[in-house]
Chains A and B, each alone.
Chain A
Amino acid sequence: MGILKRVRDGLGIMLAVAVKELIQFRRYPSWVIAVFIWPLLFPIMSVFSARALAGPEGQALHAFAALSGTTDYTGYIIVGLVMWMWLNMTLWTLGSFMRSEQIRGTLEATWLCPVSRLGVLLGATCSQLLISMVNLTVSLIAFRYIWGFRIVGDLGLTALLFILSAAAVYGLGIAFASLVMWVKEANAMVFLVRGLFMVFCGMTYPLAVLPGWMRIVSRGLPLTYSIDGIRAVALAGAGLADVMGHIAALAAFAVVTLVAGFVAFRWTERRVLRTGALGHH
């Protein structure tokens, strides 16, 4: 089969999976509400906590600015939360995709088809990407009118940092989906991983407040560079030269996590064929 035909077939399969996932997604109205309402509610607690800590006249803001480089704590929190929500949705969607197919009994039927199994997972990634983009757009519009959130820096550079972050997150998601297929439990794994990222990546606070050993751990997580880089560009107007280190780190993370994700998927695929665990739930 020629390479072009392979690519066309692969894209066709990804599209079929994505359409199927979106149709099913639409058939659970409660999920649509959760996806649109939750992101709007989520920042409220952190923003009001920050407002309380800043004092009635914002007296403590200079202390916050000394650590974070900005007095715009609302924007600071929103960038952190948006990136974390993206990670959270990716882990939930990709982790629960294989698992729910396994529980429904459709995973075996899908694997009986003469298609790349990784292509099927990538199709689920596409539907998740679309849902997350809608979610992100709605959130950014709402944040602008509720909290006055604005991107003041270079949009293109912000988008580049975001795309590199998304690639690293999807690599993690694919590895995560493989792991869930193996351990057969998504919830505890999602809580653990997103909890680690929440604590170590400076989601709502500057990394400078963390103890030394925690800062070392945070350097090993891609979201640290995403959040910090996007804050610098979007909120403080930093340029390409200022975030080159972030871009290089995120590109390296994207390559490593995507390769790790594909290797983990292939390993899990071989393992379930050997153990017969594909249909177990």
Chain B
Amino acid sequence: MTAYFLQRLIQSIAVLLAVSVVVFFAVYGIGDPIELLVPPQASAAERLALIKRLGLDQPVWHQYFTFLGNALSGNLGTSFVHGVPVVSLILGRLPATLELVLLSMITAAVVSVPLGLYAGLNPDSRPARFIMAGTVIGFSLPSFWKGMMLVLLFSVWLGWLPTAGRGETVAFLGLQTSLFTWDGLEHLILPTLNLAIPNTVLMVRLIAAGASEATTQDYVKFARAKGIPRRRIVNRHILRNILIPVVTVVGIEFGSLVAFSTITETVFSWPGMGKLLIDSIYQLDRPVVVAYVMLTTLLFVGVNLIVDVLYAALDPRVKLSGGMT
């Protein structure tokens, strides 16, 4: 287990280093870093000062290590627009995004397990066909379009829910959250629903496929021959075996949920990291974009590492075969 963990840790660090090289060359190599990092209205003296401070008169490898060193000590630059260090700017928006992402993951799990199990265990029934056709449509529709239709239906036409924004928040464990006010919850419903749809669809399909495959397996036949009640077979035997791939996918999808939240946050004007990214792109606030890439990569690599280690803990075969690439 330790050897496996170390091996995965080294791989993760390698990926992070690769991304840092790509980002470094995109910002400092291809583009003119002065162009990217100095605000357009800066004076000539300010430019010179920045060149010296960034060490742009140094050789390239030296510049890279300076960049890396700064990044490791948490310094990814200062926002042109907001005038504060970008890392703290992005981390300040993190709670809003995490709230949305975690809530939508829970929603997806709660909805998809019963639907997927039903569709997988009764594949020829009418509701199962309906569920599976629904997944194709849910999968096909672009996320921003689903969000807009939710707004049109529930906010504009029915007038039940607010169209945009985060609503009232209260501090909980030092973080601002909208989970404990009625106004906050009202604002959360549509964005959460919109963000949950792709994952719900994916999990329903995975669980359905897993459940229908499991019914033909020997361990299920044996359990039935032993006279174990159907409900217990499903809950104790089938569900457990299906959950391994589901956990993996949920973990991997956590990263893409953060990415997809960019779209949902834009549609619903949700003040999270994704909205910040889009706003920064519009305002040409490059340091924020660069820092967003580095922090998201860190998040991705970290989550993948955790998922792989969990996976190894759940399924002993993984360790023996040296892990999945």
| A, B from the same assembly | no
A interface residues with partner B (beta carbon < 8 Å): none
B interface residues with partner A (beta carbon < 8 Å): none
